[in-house]
Structure 1
Amino acid sequence: MAATHCILFVRDAAAQRDFYAALLARPPRLDVPGMCEFELPGGAVLGLMPEAGIRRLLSQDWPAPTDTPRSELYLLLDEDPAPWLARALAAGAELISPLQARNWGHQAAYLRDPEGHLLALAQALD
């Protein structure tokens, strides 16, 4: 395997690009009509594709999005998640569950990005 890409389908590509640039504290590595990509720690890539693009690619009958998150972007950090959480909230995320110890050995906060995608900011507990 050469790389892993996680692609979120978004309604407002520019707004989502700006949100993730603020959260990740870096510009996208690719920003062209139809796709935006950010390098993530560990070598993965986060892609943002406008919903219209995926509809053209797959089918005009692709189901409409719902308000129920159907995926989660879980960012396991090697540093304190608190500054990341502050950046996410300042950029427009909604806090769902505060930063706290979880029973799987991480401290994690859960948020919704401006379009409702579930986002976790986590760090392993010692």
Structure 2
Amino acid sequence: MKHIQLIQTILYVENQQSSADFYKQLFRQKPDLDVPGMTEFILAENCKLGLMPNKGIAKILAPAMPDPALGNGIPRCELYFYVQDIEMEFENALRIGARLISGIEDRDWGDRACYFADPDGHIIAWAERL
């Protein structure tokens, strides 16, 4: 799909500030946008990660969709990042208090990967190709 110019994934979060602080430490970078209602991190040339409070998106989604706050703590998505140094990312995630789900292992799909959860239960995977 060459017509797509930018990919932005937005996570719905309970507390924008605490989630922003978590991801600042996880990515070891400041957000590129941090205003009430949205925090954004540019992760690659055409990829952004946004953090939006549940309360804000609920106003847009209602009444067609349930309140996202009803899913807090339930894994609702997975962010899968290929990295140059999986051990460094693993240790950083542990250091900042990310919840370890599965340690670094060779996976049967051809990656070496580990899994963590953020404060809202979203899954974060760090991976390297075998």
What's the TM-score once normalised by structure 2's chain length?
A: 0.88
Q: CA deviation at 1:43?
A: 2.5
Contact 1:92 / 1:114 at 8 angstroms: preserved in 2? no
1:60-71 correspondence runs (5 A): 62-63=66-67, 64-71=70-77
- CA shift digits 1:52-110 (9 cap, x unpaired): 01011111562321432121111111x11111111112222111100111111111001
CA distance in 1, matches of 2:19, 2:51: 8
Name the residue aligned to 1:122. 127
Percent identity of the aligned residues? 40
Root mean square deviation, CA, Å? 1.4
Match of 1:95 among 96, 100, 103: 100
Give ranges in structure 2 of 5+ residues lacking alignment: none
Distance in 2 between residues matched to 1:123 and 1:43, nearest whole Å: 20
AA partner of residue 75 (structure 1):
F
Structure 1: runs of 5+ lacking an equivalent: none
Which aligned segments of 4 or more residues in structure 1 are displaced greater than 2 angstroms?
60-63
| Partner residue, 1:11 | 14
